[in-house]
Structure 1
Amino acid sequence: MRLWTALLTTLCLLLAGIGPRADAQLALPQVQIPDAARSLPQWPDLNTEPLISAVDRLPQIRLDRITALLRGHRESIELDERGEPAVRGILVASGIDAAMIARAGEAGFALLDREYIAGLDLDIARFHVPKGRSLTRARKQLAKLLPDAGIDVDNLYFASGPGGALPQAALATATGGGAAKLGLIDGGVAAHPSIAGRVEQRGFATGAPSASRHGTAIASLLVGNGPVRGAAPGRRLLAADVYGTDPAGGNASAIARALGWLVESGVAVTTISLVGPDNRLLAAAVTRARQRGMLIVAAVGNDGPAAPPAYPASYPGVFAVTGVDAKGRALPEAGRALHIDFAAPGDAVLAATGVNSADRLRGTSFAAPLVAGRLALHYPAPSIEAIGPAVAALVMEALDLGKKGRDKVYGHGLICGACGGR
């Protein structure tokens, strides 16, 4: 029995990216309120539309969402070389120093701002793209000029479930210290009774924090107590609003700052139900947060199996979560990641959506906080030594689905099967 426990713990350490080869895996790199276009459209009504047709439409829905976002905010958003939205005319460099900044300036890349994210021990700088150069061309030029820095565009990330603004909604607040803290990176959280007095919020975009439907729903599924009940009821939540009123909110820079705040605040488990492309700044921020003992749980998104791999869910050591329906079947609209770790209820999930409202929601967004909440019960405080036993405990409570053992569809299996108001 002791041998089995030791082996399972070792496997779970590897799952979390902490193990005998941790130094190689975790080496430090060289380094708005969301409008309708920033949220995924509702999954097509399967009562009126054949399943195959609905799944086939998902790639076009994704493209339409990006096109609508670009059309409405050309002054602040443009596409990178992969066709992914990013902050217009801005490049971000991580692992930067004064000499690099001077070299970039001589080549026409004017420094916009520079900051140090203390929680991650990460220096970042943002540069203006020289006039007349495309974002793609400028990124390649600056990367060649500064090969020891992490150069990338400032990509945008989408809520992986139905969202929307709550412009008149009061914000949830914290009235006491409470028990173990969980983290949330999303939109702002409204003052729903299920989470009253337990949510501390901070903004990382213009106009933030500002209540959103999506952020409120995720918060209630984490720490809600009462008729709308989360997976870790009654716990304290730190919520980082990375959208605010900025049409280019939800960018990699904002998420990195949010991670730094949560690390400094001692958060052990953070939920990110946002999806987008691989990005060097985001990858560096996630890696450094994990090195400091934070466990990150992310949704795989709802763009369907033909979509590109979702990030941050696809980063090593991030717990990628898919959604299932009441019969334990994977949601056909669930996106994909380079790995799947767990599944959780993602259909007809009861969640708060405003100050006095709750609805049944669908999407992988609403599965991720159920896994994060259960993980936090096993892992209340950041500690590298405690990661293995905590993950092992979560694996042991997973209900095996699909092929026997871990598989590519459900990972280790279903967590919190009775959660979400089922």
Structure 2
Amino acid sequence: MRTITPALLAMLCATTLPMPALAQGVMPGIGQGIGQQLGNPFDNRLDPVIDRARQVVDRVPADVAQALDNATTTMVQSARALAEARVDRIDRLLRQNPASIERDATGDPAIKGELLIMAPEAAMLDKARALGFAVIGNERLASLDLAVTRLAIPSGMSLAQAQAALGKALPDATISADVLHFTAGAASPRGGVMHLGTMPALQTPVGMIDGAPAQAIDALQGFAPGAPAASDHGSAVANLLSGAGVRHILAADVYGRGPTGGNALAIARAVDWLIGRQVRVITISLVGPANPLLERAMTAALQRGAVIVAAVGNDGPAAPPAYPASYPGILAVTAVDARNRALIEAGRALHLDYAAPGAGLRAANARGQMVPVRGTSFAAPLVASRVAAARDAHASVLQALDREAIDLGPRGPDQQYGRGLLCTICR
């Protein structure tokens, strides 16, 4: 009988069913919300992937085939479990906060009772008022040259119903819910083995949109109720930036202390503030659904010379595409462990640019304790530090990153590691 070595099994698994292929097979379509993620459509999308795996299994020895079949089943189960955990987590958030959060028209969690409309004309607002909507306030994001109006929806109408009614009345308007975004990493029960040492000092400032860090930084601004409020996640991101050599950090706290932190308008305000402070390297370790306000904010920042790095999240390959990582022009970042293996829980974006360490790390929490962390959240600031290094050297950012990137997986850019692994020197 042929012996199945771990290396042989790993090679066959990688050849037969790489995680990106699995992701393509089980993803809900773009634009599908949380409520549409599971059930029979999910199961049906698994079939083509499993069929391809079975075809390869049929061509290998029986003992290898059985092991590979088991590995395929395990990967599918892991993807399903991550997707279900995401749905359960959001369901729990909605149950715990019925007065402040509800689902929008696509099933995603958003601020209850409010809609956003981009740069509305006076006639549009008159029509909205006639339908029972009321203006809560007007926001001017001066550094991005954007305007948005917040509307309260009519009493007795759900957010989804209000979106449909207003969209029908104002077909030319850009209307959205104020959707929520979630952090893409946390403390890990597994022991971290890497604590970033002292890297060469980088003078290019880096902005972070996250929770507030506890440590002293160059500037801190709050964009949510109770903000700024020190958080473990924000503290870890800032600590990793500092350890990677970044000497000037500006942080926008979009979470504060309330349940509706991480909303689209708060993130847009944060981008506007950072651009106004002349920050041109921004790292975002948050994930949520597509949103027209945020897409315009990101586009405006890119047009003003910013490089924005965003994590792809940790909801697994069966989660919907992660935003802001999926917006055009954003550097989408995934994570690897200490052995340069892609994290199985890594989410996906509509494109993938780079990978960086996101496990086997230790970073400071809000109490200043060094704790193990894991997730794509912690890969994004490391990539941002390499962007800052390129800016310090007055080099082309993408050319500098591509020169540094170590090609992993299939030769050339791929959907598991992007254009390669960055920041190995950060270890």
Displacement, 1:56?
Answer: 3.3
2:117 aligned with 1:98: no
2:187 and 2:372 in contact (8 A); partners too: no
Q: What runs of 5+ residues in structure 2 fail to find an aligned partner? A: 1-73, 189-201
Displacement, 1:348?
Answer: 1.4
Aligned position for 2:228? 209
- Alignment partners' CA distance in 2, 1:337 and 1:347: 20
Alignment of 1:374-393 (within 5 A): 374-379=386-391, 389-393=396-400
1:268 and 1:379 in contact (8 A); partners too: no
Q: 1:414 aligns with which of 394, 416, 421?
A: 421
Alignment of 1:23-422 (within 5 A): 53-162=77-186, 179-191=203-215, 196=216, 198-222=217-241, 224=242, 229-230=243-244, 233-379=245-391, 389-419=396-426, 422=427
Displacement, 1:134?
Answer: 1.8
- Alignment partners' CA distance in 1, 2:303 and 2:310: 17
Displacement, 1:315?
Answer: 0.5
1:268 and 1:376 in contact (8 A); partners too: no
- Alignment partners' CA distance in 2, 1:240 and 1:110: 29
SS in 1 for 2:424: coil
Aligned position for 2:25? none
Q: What runs of 5+ residues in structure 1 fail to find an aligned partner? A: 1-49, 165-177
Displacement, 1:301?
Answer: 0.4
1:321 and 1:342 in contact (8 A); partners too: yes
Displacement, 1:100?
Answer: 2.3
Displacement, 1:292?
Answer: 1.0
- Give TM-score, length-normalised by structure 2: 0.77
**Which moves more between the two structures, 101-110 or 266-275?**
101-110
CA deviation digits over 1:208-255, x for unaligned, max 9? 000000001111111x2xxxx22xx14211100001012111100100
- Give TM-score, length-normalised by structure 1: 0.77
Identity of aligned residues (%): 52
Length, aligned pairs only: 341
1:268 and 1:380 in contact (8 A); partners too: no
SS in 1 for 2:203: coil
Aligned position for 1:44? none
CA deviation digits over 1:168-193, x for unaligned, max 9? xxxxxxxxxx93211100001102xx
- Alignment partners' CA distance in 1, 2:339 and 2:314: 19
SS in 2 for 1:82: coil
- Alignment partners' CA distance in 1, 2:141 and 2:363: 33
SS in 1 for 2:423: coil
Higher share of residues assigned helix? 2
- Alignment partners' CA distance in 1, 2:211 and 2:358: 19
1:203 and 1:240 in contact (8 A); partners too: yes
Displacement, 1:141?
Answer: 2.0
Displacement, 1:162?
Answer: 1.4
- Alignment partners' CA distance in 2, 1:411 and 1:307: 18
Displacement, 1:55?
Answer: 4.0
- Alignment partners' CA distance in 1, 2:187 and 2:409: 30
Displacement, 1:146?
Answer: 2.6
SS in 1 for 2:335: strand
Displacement, 1:82?
Answer: 2.3
CA deviation digits over 1:107-157, x for unaligned, max 9? 211101111011111110010111122211211222232333310000000
Q: Structure 2: which amino acid aligns with 1:213?
A: D
Q: Structure 1: which amino acid aligns with 2:160?
A: T
- Alignment partners' CA distance in 2, 1:145 and 1:51: 46
SS in 2 for 1:310: coil
1:343 and 1:411 in contact (8 A); partners too: yes
2:316 and 2:348 in contact (8 A); partners too: yes
CA deviation digits over 1:319-351, x for unaligned, max 9? 000001122111111001101100000111121
Aligned position for 1:26? none
